[in-house]
Structure 1
Amino acid sequence: MQSQLPQTRYWSFRIDVEQLGWLTIDRPDASVNTLSREAIAELESLVAHFEELAASGELIGVILLSGKEGGFIAGADISEFDAMSDFSILPEALKRAHALFQRIENLKIPVVAGIHGFCLGGGLELALACHYRIAVNNDKTRIGFPEVNLGIFPGFGGTGRSIRQAGPVDAMQIMLTGRMLRAGQARGMGLVDKLVRHRDMLRWEARKAVLQKRKSREAPFAKRAMAMGPIRGYVASKMRAEAGKKARPEHYPAPYALIDLFEKHGDDPRAMIRGEIDAFVPLMSSSTATNLRRVFFLSEGLKKQGAKNARFARVHVIGAGVMGGDIAAWCALRGMAVTLQDLDMERIKPALDRAKGLFKKRLKKKREVDTAMLRLEADPVGKGVARADVIIEAVVENLEIKRKIFAGVEEKLKAGAILATNTSSIELERIAEGLQDPSRLIGLHFFNPVAQLPLVEVIRSAFNSDEQIAAGAAFALAIGKSPVVVKSAPGFLVNRVLMPYMLGAVERVERGESKELIDAAAVAFGMPMGPIELMDTVGLDVGKSVATELGHAVPEGSKFAALVAAGKLGRKSGEGFYKWEKGKAQKGDVSLPPDLAGLGRELVKPLVDMTEVVVGEGVVANGDLADIGVILGTGFAPFLGGPLKARADGRA
């Protein structure tokens, strides 16, 4: 006789005529499923119900599915993390989740997870507690542990269970990097047991898995051997060395805490799971995790800026240089039909070649690469303008050239098309002066390299309406970028704050200080690269042009001016402040002082000062937008929460 089914908001459960239990998670009032404390409490009641039904023979298996169109479970509920970081709450909450997932694993009947879309963090940990996992093998399925991006690591037993299924090297790799796997990759690692082509096949395949009592296989001995005996210490040391190339332990402690846990217990998945709690609790309340959560919510907030129901199919880019060509390639990669215009094919071809390289790197399969290339069309005469939903000018930073281009384009636009400039420093009002309708021109300022930097500054002039800016933000979101709306002013946000920082560092080099020491100090502070290497990466000619536009003189007799005059423009020419080989700056050895990070704070001070000025002038709406914009546009230390947050905390 079935006991009373618990009342639940997050879950629905029914038993069919074959005594199969169908458990569906569908969080109310949300577009994605997350594991909140309430959801976990409800699941506890349901699992107790399953135990009773299994003991009485009324239930022969459970199939876990998602009711959301977009995916399975995106992880734990991050909005609860601040409250959960309390030392009086978190250990017990983790123990409760551990006990629940262990009860699921201990059920005498098969439990099968059917995965589509995102299966991340706590969602993957729940799936790993099930006995068998089936995933939809399409481009929307993404499986992984992104916790490291929030300053923590898996805390619901995912460390030991992923090592048990995938082996120590593969499991640790995905936990340490936060990399999301496609379904086929997860199947190859052993995190998923079976693939199906379509979501509507999950139910049938899961039914067969229960009836056949299928059970996932653990990683083979050859993989598990990498965690056994003395070899585990060697593997752990290699992992620390690799982590050290990307993150310093004082900035991002989570990867190192996870490696320490692996070194202690990596040969025993159950011990690894038990050890999670003691290692996890200090991380959750750390300043790094607190600030990374702030960055996450600020990033998510940017997604709410776009116009609703905006649709973009065709993009026309004018200018096939590095920026224009890479913007065109990125739009094609994201599924847009793109026409790329320049004076002749000779100027367009290098951009097409770079685009193919990007597609090969990102898409892998030849068919997908070929399809992306078909979406990107060379267009020397500009026939794509009249059909485009978005027209982006990305030529040199020359006011007269930009005005001339827009004068020739305006009459060809279709109604409702976005007309945009990728200017990095010139106010929009000056560019729009000659237009019949200056309100049509907005700014869409991308950052180099386009494929790596997520920010797009959506620049608003005095002529623009809210609707036009919302459309620009919607386009940025449509191509997977993060829009920050900024007022038209010299340098806007990012270049305005970057230039005093970069030029201040250049002045130190001019005075004879070591460029290697300056760059090392900035990295020790938390910047992704030093200001001199950054100037070389941006291009010394571009840096000089933006500096001049912002009123910063570059003295004629300076080394900076001499390098530009000699055509030594940085990375793109093979030499600037550094010599460049195979895309890397060739740096000499330098002795580092004890307080390297202190020197870094000194170097970064002009950037932080200017961020305060920019907010005070209303270039961005508030300090939160300034912080997230500077993080996304410059790589400013995310673990500090942004320049203004860092100053408020006394860390910048």
Structure 2
Amino acid sequence: MSKHWHLDYHTDYALLTLDVAGQSANVLSQEVLLELDRHLGELEGKPLQGLIIRSGKASGFIAGADVREFERITDPVRATELAELGQQVCARLAGLPFPSVAVIHGFCLGGGLELALACRYRLAREDAATRLGLPEVRLGIHPGFAGSVRLPPLVGDMAALDMMLTGRTISAREARRLGLVDEIVPERHLLDAAEKFLKSGTPRRKAPWHRRVPGWRPLRTLVVRMFTPRVRRKAHPDHYPAPWRILDLWRDRATEKQEAQSLGELLVSRSSRNLVHVFLLGEELKRRGKMQPHGIEYVHVIGAGVMGADIAIWAAHKGFRVSLQDQKPEILARAMKKAYGFFKSKLKEPRAVQEAMDRFMPDLEGHGLGRADLVIEAIVEKVEPKRELFRLVEQKARPQTLLATNTSSIPLEEIGTVLKDPSRLVGLHFFNPVAQMQLVEIVRGAQSSEASLARARAFTGAIERLPLDVKSSPGFLVNRILMPYLIEAVKLVQEGVGITTIDQAATEFGMPMGPIELADSVGLDICLSVAEELSEPLHMDVPDKLRELVGQGQLGRKSGQGFYRYNARGRRESPSPDKTAADIPITERLILRLLNEAMACLREGVVGDADAVDAGMVYGTGFAPFLGGPMSYIDSLGVTGISHSLHRLMQEYGPRFKPDAGWSQPELLKRRLRSSNPT
């Protein structure tokens, strides 16, 4: 009996189809690997001309190892044994007395690609959905089923290092160019092509000699030295050890056994466990975005500024018909130009670019309002203009049209007072830049209906973004937590601490960029607007320095001057070195303001559980993924120690460091997103 693999015998070859029971995508659990091993043992003694391995899932070939098994492993010896099992099965596949071919469609990632590498041939379906890659580094590990050993001879050392170090996926066309797949074939010809390869007698592919030159022993150290600055810019060795292990394994021409031992050590490390935690949170949010249909085909966006244009462009890129409205034709023209550049860079082929542009329409008069299934408002961040706009929108939009605001801080109850039916109004709060930031806050107003919220989540999932339910309250989740952190950074500037010193403290902690550079990137005028909106409900002082810079027109990167100076291309100019007193607890002040506000959000029920705080801050701001998010970081440090530190800072710096009441409720940390229902 076979639960996951289905073996069929044809005239002169065997066909193994993987269809993992109870899963929408194929993953390689220990059970799946052991079952494959039994089938390979059966096949070894058969007089066959070959074996074809394929997937029975529409979603793709194999999405990788079963990441949920990683959470249950705490012993590096056990982790090493799991890797060795995968290596043994792949080695058995590679050692069959007849050729084998992997027929690939959709996603072929991680352990799935490593299994395909053990086959003599690989064929890929010819379409845009086929993607291949080794993304293990994003989980704080590296290939463990001998991928680091098999990939370099096949595609060349530089290409192999690039794939393993970045974790990026590549198209079938690029895989063919690299030699990762032998041929790309239309769907209807895949099995016929596989049979021909089995009968061809073609030897196993190897990269041409010039691609293998960097792997020559005298050159390996030089190549590692060349990659080091690039890796260091992306991954601090203390925070993300996996890419550094990849370089070491490649330089030392590590064996499969050494690869497995290294993986075992990494898999139980703090970095990997937290990255796995973050990954699974993202998977849960994706699942919630697919739970119900949205019924949306036509999207009308009002406001063609940076955010509005980017939201409209992204929706059109993901297949929706979109109209973009603004009062000024020159702003619409700029958005159209931006859309064309974006589609051209992403889609490449002229026909695909033209199809995307055909879905994206400028709409000066707002004619799209009457046809839209979803209207998204993205105008100035002020209550009265938003109210007036929604009063007009409700008159022109159809009764079933979902109404959404992209407000970043204003409670929906204040905006919806003009609506006859406020149950239609939800928040769809995107983050800048829209094409890169995965999170969208689904804001629940007091009168937002469950049906409206469900459609908003489903639309967010359809545009491949992560929907996070938040309660309508000042700043919602991400901006509310982020603002005290940014304000504290500006207070440090006012005290004379150098801006580069502040930013360096944050990046050394693990933030993707420092708070000062972040404020410049967001726009100091926007920071000031949000800070003023939150100042009264959060009892937060707005620093004079922020008002001063905005008053002088120094708005950050977009104006060429903020806290930093920027050149014509928007690149930051290096300021003079800072001279700052070493006794100021910069990192502690920044991070504890953030953690204290995160605890307040959890206590007040802005989100339903601790995991939701982690997901929001990691996917919405890039908060140190290797720490797992603010609440995971709190869990690792202990509530008592953080509370004592806040008391100490309150005595030294004032009441803004007063510990939130949530610190005396440690049970709040036990509420978890992946074991609860959507709020």
- Does structure 2 conserve the Cα–Cα contact (< 8 Å) formed by 1:159 and 1:272? no
Q: CA deviation at 1:82?
A: 2.4
- 1:424-573 map, 5 Å: 424-551=408-535, 552-554=540-542, 558-573=544-559
- 1:296-375 map, 5 Å: 296-306=279-289, 307-375=291-359
Q: Give, as a single letter, the amino acid of the residue that structure 1 aligns with 2:614.
A: D
Q: CA deviation at 1:215?
A: 3.5
Q: Give, as a single letter, the amino acid of the residue that structure 1 aligns with 2:547.
A: A
| Map of 2:570 onto structure 1 | 583
Pairing 1:234–2:222 present = yes
- Does structure 2 conserve the Cα–Cα contact (< 8 Å) formed by 1:160 and 1:273? yes
Q: Give, as a single letter, the amino acid of the residue that structure 2 aligns with 1:372.
A: A
Q: Deviation digits for residues 164-221 of structure 1, max 9, x if unmatched?
A: 11111001101110100000111111110111122x3211110111122334311111
What is the alpha-carbon distance in structure 2 between the residues aligned to residue 205 and residue 322 of structure 1?
48
Instruction: Note closer, same or farther for the CA distance 1:188–1:595 as it changes in structure 2 (3 Å cut).
Output: farther
Q: Residue 484 of structure 1 aligns to a residue in which SS?
A: strand
| Map of 2:193 onto structure 1 | 205
Match of 2:368 among 384, 387, 397: 384
Pairing 1:47–2:55 present = no
| Map of 1:284 onto structure 2 | 267
Q: TM-score, normalised by structure 1?
A: 0.94
What is the alpha-carbon distance in structure 1 between the residues aligned to residue 136 and residue 588 of structure 2?
28
What is the alpha-carbon distance in structure 2 between the residues aligned to residue 71 and residue 595 of structure 1?
54
- 1:143-182 map, 5 Å: 143-182=132-171
What is the alpha-carbon distance in structure 2 between the residues aligned to residue 108 and residue 596 of structure 1?
69
Instruction: Note closer, same or farther for the CA distance 1:593–1:125 as it changes in structure 2 (3 Å cut).
Output: farther
Q: Residue 343 of structure 2 aligns to a residue in which SS?
A: helix
What is the alpha-carbon distance in structure 1 between the residues aligned to residue 275 and residue 84 of structure 2?
24
Q: Deviation digits for residues 348-407 of structure 1, max 9, x if unmatched?
A: 111112222222222222222222112110001111011111100000011111111111
| Map of 1:217 onto structure 2 | 205
Match of 1:245 among 233, 247, 251: 233
- Does structure 2 conserve the Cα–Cα contact (< 8 Å) formed by 1:72 and 1:117? yes
Q: Deviation digits for residues 245-294 of structure 1, max 9, x if unmatched?
A: 111010100000110111111xxxxx443320222111000001111111
What is the alpha-carbon distance in structure 2 between the residues aligned to residue 8 and residue 450 of structure 1?
45
Q: TM-score, normalised by structure 2?
A: 0.91
Instruction: Note closer, same or farther for the CA distance 1:114–1:521 as it changes in structure 2 (3 Å cut).
Output: same
| Map of 2:663 onto structure 1 | none
Q: Give, as a single letter, the amino acid of the residue that structure 1 aligns with 2:97.
A: K
For structure 1, which runs of at least 5 residues remain unmatched after alignment? 1-6, 266-270
Q: CA deviation at 1:600?
A: 2.6
Q: Give, as a single letter, the amino acid of the residue that structure 1 aligns with 2:35.
A: E
- Does structure 2 conserve the Cα–Cα contact (< 8 Å) formed by 1:116 and 1:135? yes
- Does structure 1 conserve the Cα–Cα contact (< 8 Å) formed by 2:343 and 2:353? yes
Instruction: Note closer, same or farther for the CA distance 1:596–1:650 as it changes in structure 2 (3 Å cut).
Output: farther
Pairing 1:634–2:621 present = yes
Instruction: Note closer, same or farther for the CA distance 1:596–1:458 as it changes in structure 2 (3 Å cut).
Output: farther
What is the alpha-carbon distance in structure 1 between the residues aligned to residue 255 and residue 177 of structure 2?
23
What is the alpha-carbon distance in structure 1 between the residues aligned to residue 622 and residue 81 of structure 2?
36
| Map of 1:3 onto structure 2 | none
| Map of 1:106 onto structure 2 | 95
What is the alpha-carbon distance in structure 1 between the residues aligned to residue 583 and residue 427 of structure 2?
38
Q: CA deviation at 1:108?
A: 2.0
Q: Give, as a single letter, the amino acid of the residue that structure 2 aligns with 1:26.
A: D
Q: Give, as a single letter, the amino acid of the residue that structure 2 aligns with 1:567.
A: G
> Number of paired residues?
633
Match of 1:133 among 122, 129, 136: 122
Moved more, 559-568 or 605-614: 559-568
| Map of 1:4 onto structure 2 | none
| Map of 1:61 onto structure 2 | 50
Q: CA deviation at 1:414?
A: 2.1
What is the alpha-carbon distance in structure 1 between the residues aligned to residue 170 and residue 304 of structure 2?
33
Q: Deviation digits for residues 546-584 of structure 1, max 9, x if unmatched?
A: 0000014435xx332221112110011111111112222
What is the alpha-carbon distance in structure 1 between the residues aligned to residue 13 and residue 437 of structure 2?
48
What is the alpha-carbon distance in structure 2 between the residues aligned to residue 272 and residue 354 of structure 1?
49
Q: Alignment identity in percent?
A: 45
- Does structure 1 conserve the Cα–Cα contact (< 8 Å) formed by 2:490 and 2:545? no
Q: Give, as a single letter, the amino acid of the residue that structure 1 aligns with 2:5.
A: W
- Does structure 1 conserve the Cα–Cα contact (< 8 Å) formed by 2:564 and 2:575? no
For structure 2, which runs of at least 5 residues remain unmatched after alignment? 643-679
Q: Residue 287 of structure 2 aligns to a residue in which SS?
A: coil
Moved more, 156-165 or 341-350: 341-350
- Does structure 2 conserve the Cα–Cα contact (< 8 Å) formed by 1:105 and 1:130? yes
Q: Residue 245 of structure 2 aligns to a residue in which SS?
A: helix
What is the alpha-carbon distance in structure 2 between the residues aligned to residue 64 and residue 414 of structure 1?
51
Q: Residue 534 of structure 1 aligns to a residue in which SS?
A: helix
Q: Residue 554 of structure 2 aligns to a residue in which SS?
A: coil
- Does structure 1 conserve the Cα–Cα contact (< 8 Å) formed by 2:437 and 2:619? yes
- Does structure 1 conserve the Cα–Cα contact (< 8 Å) formed by 2:125 and 2:190? yes
Q: CA deviation at 1:595?
A: 9.2
Q: Give, as a single letter, the amino acid of the residue that structure 1 aligns with 2:294.
A: A
Q: Residue 63 of structure 1 aligns to a residue in which SS?
A: strand
What is the alpha-carbon distance in structure 1 between the residues aligned to residue 205 and residue 588 of structure 2?
51
Match of 1:11 among 5, 8, 16: 5
Q: CA deviation at 1:423?
A: 0.5
What is the alpha-carbon distance in structure 1 between the residues aligned to residue 498 and residue 454 of structure 2?
45
What is the alpha-carbon distance in structure 1 between the residues aligned to residue 560 and residue 583 of structure 2?
29
- Does structure 1 conserve the Cα–Cα contact (< 8 Å) formed by 2:488 and 2:589? no
Q: CA deviation at 1:312?
A: 2.1
Q: Give, as a single letter, the amino acid of the residue that structure 2 aligns with 1:8.
A: S
Q: CA deviation at 1:85?
A: 4.3
- Does structure 2 conserve the Cα–Cα contact (< 8 Å) formed by 1:524 and 1:596? no
Q: Give, as a single letter, the amino acid of the residue that structure 2 aligns with 1:573.
A: S
Q: Deviation digits for residues 19-49 of structure 1, max 9, x if unmatched?
A: 2101111101111101110111111111111
Q: Give, as a single letter, the amino acid of the residue that structure 2 aligns with 1:513.
A: V
Instruction: Note closer, same or farther for the CA distance 1:377–1:590 as it changes in structure 2 (3 Å cut).
Output: same
- Does structure 2 conserve the Cα–Cα contact (< 8 Å) formed by 1:117 and 1:140? yes
What is the alpha-carbon distance in structure 2 between the residues aligned to residue 346 and residue 577 of structure 1?
30
| Map of 2:18 onto structure 1 | 25
Q: CA deviation at 1:102?
A: 1.3
- Does structure 2 conserve the Cα–Cα contact (< 8 Å) formed by 1:36 and 1:80? yes
Q: CA deviation at 1:79?
A: 1.1
Pairing 1:186–2:175 present = yes
- Does structure 2 conserve the Cα–Cα contact (< 8 Å) formed by 1:459 and 1:488? yes
| Map of 2:377 onto structure 1 | 393
- Does structure 2 conserve the Cα–Cα contact (< 8 Å) formed by 1:110 and 1:214? no
Q: CA deviation at 1:596?
A: 11
What is the alpha-carbon distance in structure 2 between the residues aligned to residue 347 and residue 412 of structure 1?
23
What is the alpha-carbon distance in structure 2 between the residues aligned to residue 215 and residue 139 of structure 1?
28
What is the alpha-carbon distance in structure 2 between the residues aligned to residue 467 and residue 274 of structure 1?
53
Q: Residue 512 of structure 1 aligns to a residue in which SS?
A: coil
What is the alpha-carbon distance in structure 2 between the residues aligned to residue 601 and residue 638 of structure 1?
18
| Map of 2:635 onto structure 1 | 648
Q: CA deviation at 1:597?
A: 13
What is the alpha-carbon distance in structure 1 between the residues aligned to residue 531 and residue 101 of structure 2?
60
| Map of 1:260 onto structure 2 | 248
Q: Give, as a single letter, the amino acid of the residue that structure 2 aligns with 1:580.
A: Y
- Does structure 1 conserve the Cα–Cα contact (< 8 Å) formed by 2:319 and 2:356? yes
Q: Residue 233 of structure 1 aligns to a residue in which SS?
A: helix
Q: CA deviation at 1:524?
A: 0.4
